[in-house]
Chain A
Amino acid sequence: MGSSTLSIGFFFAFMALTLAITYWAARRTRTTEHFFAAGGQVTPWQNGWALAGDFLSAAALLGIAGIVTSNGFDGMIYSIGWLVGWPIILFLIVEPLRNVGRFTFADVVAYRLRQRPVRLAGAAGTLAVILFYLIAQMVATGSLIKLLFGLPYTWSVVVVGSVMLVYVLFGGMLATTWVQVVKAALLMGGGILLAFLVLTHFDMNPLKLFAAASEKYGTKVLQPGSKVVSGQWDAISLGLGLMFGTAAMPHVLMRAYTVKDAKAARLSILYATGLIGVFHLMVFIIGFGAMVLVGADAVAKAGGGGNMAAPLLALAVGGNAFFGFICAVAFATMLAVVAGLTLSGVATLCHDVWTNVIRNGTASEAEQLKVARIATVMISIFAILLGIAFEGQNVAFMAGLAFSIACAANFPSLVLAITWRRFTTPAAVASILVGTLSSLVLIYLSPTIQVDILGKPLAAVEQQWWFVSLRNPAIVSMPLSFAVAILLSLVTQEKNANLAFDEMQRRILLGPVQRGADEPARAKSAA
Chain B
Amino acid sequence: MNVVIPGKPDLAPSASAALAKKLAKKRLTVALVLSAAMIAIYFGFMGLFAFDKPLLGTILVPGLSLCIVLGPLVIVSSFVLCLVYVLWANRVFDAGIRDLR
Contact = CB atoms under 8 A, between A and B. Distances in A.
Interface residues of B, number: 61
A43 to B, nearest CB: 15
B3 A273 contact: no
B24 A211 contact: no
A267 B86 contact: yes
Contact of B86 (A76, A211, A243, A266): A266
A214 B6 contact: no
A77 B68 CA distance: 11
B34 A91 contact: yes
Contact of A214 (B2, B35, B62): B62
Interface size class of A (residues with CB under 8 A): 35 or more
Question: What's the dominant secondary structure at chain A's contact region?
Answer: helix
B51 to A, nearest CB: 6
Interface in A280-319: 280-281, 284
A226 interface: yes
Contact of B1 (A226, A284, A356, A419): A356
Contact of B43 (A111, A239, A419, A512): A239
Nearest to B42: A84
Question: What's the dominant secondary structure at chain B's contact region?
Answer: helix
Interface string B42-85: 11011101110100110101111101100110111011011101
B13 to A, nearest CB: 13
A76 B1 contact: no
B82 A273 contact: yes
B46 A236 contact: yes
B11 A506 contact: yes
A396 interface: no
Contacts of B57: 219, 222-224
B42 A239 contact: yes
A149 B49 CA distance: 38
Contacts of A84: 38, 41-42, 74, 78
B65 A219 contact: yes
A280 B51 CA distance: 24
B79 A224 contact: no
Contacts of A243: 39, 42
Contacts of B51: 232
B71 A222 contact: no
A112 interface: yes
A128 interface: no
B42 A510 contact: no
Interface in A349-392: 355-356, 361
A235 interface: yes
B92 interface: no
B31 A92 contact: yes
B90 A219 contact: no
A499 interface: yes
15 contacts: A86-B82, A92-B35, A222-B65, A222-B67, A223-B67, A224-B57, A226-B53, A235-B46, A235-B50, A263-B89, A273-B79, A505-B20, A509-B100, A523-B2, A526-B2
